[in-house]
Amino acid sequence: MNRAIVSGALALVSAAACLVLAPAASAAPQACVTSTLNTGYEAQGTITAVKSSTSSCSDLNLTYTDDKSADNYDYYAGRLRRSSDGSWFTCSRGYRTDVKVYDGNHSVSDPFFFLCTDVADGTRFGVASWLDAGDTVKITH
């Protein structure tokens, strides 16, 4: 006599495929683009640029400066052009004259060097210097 043996089904516990996705950095430097500009004397210089519409960066980060005077430092501010009437204004962060910005590279993640924040795509921008004009600067945006 056969006894029906009900074998318990083996529950195969599949290992949950836990794909841990690294959170996307909000301002990954490699996703930014960098433009080289010159500075004007408390105004935008003759070389300006347009805020990238494809990068993931929303700020204007000052990542390189070369002051052209003997001092080799200056104080910088971002300038933006209004699309409405083409006029220029200095970003609200303004010039901060408490710390001299010496020639060289500056960290893209150092908030001190965020000249303007939350800049709309397509906005034309420039950089102003406080002491004298004609400095070469790079903006990562």
Instruction: Return residues touching Ca ion (CB under 5 A).
Output: 66-67, 72, 74, 103, 129, 132, 135
Least distance in angstroms from the C-beta of 131 to Ca ion: 5
State which amino acid sits at residue 55. Answer: S
Identity of the residue, 59 or 67, whose beta carbon is nearer to Ca ion in the bound complex: 67
Identity of the residue, 63 or 129, whose beta carbon is nearer to Ca ion in the bound complex: 129
Least distance in angstroms from the C-beta of 137 to Ca ion: 10
Nearest to 102, CA basis, from 69, 67, 63: 67
Nearest to 27, CA basis, from 90, 91, 101, 114: 114
Identity of the residue, 42 or 103, whose beta carbon is nearer to Ca ion in the bound complex: 103
Identity of the residue, 32 or 77, whose beta carbon is nearer to Ca ion in the bound complex: 77
Residue 123, burial from CB neighbour count under 10 angstroms (0-12, 13-18, 19+)? middle
Least distance in angstroms from the C-beta of 75 to Ca ion: 9
- CA dihedral sign of residues 57, 120, 38, 106: negative
Q: Which residue has the closest beta carbon to Ca ion? A: 74
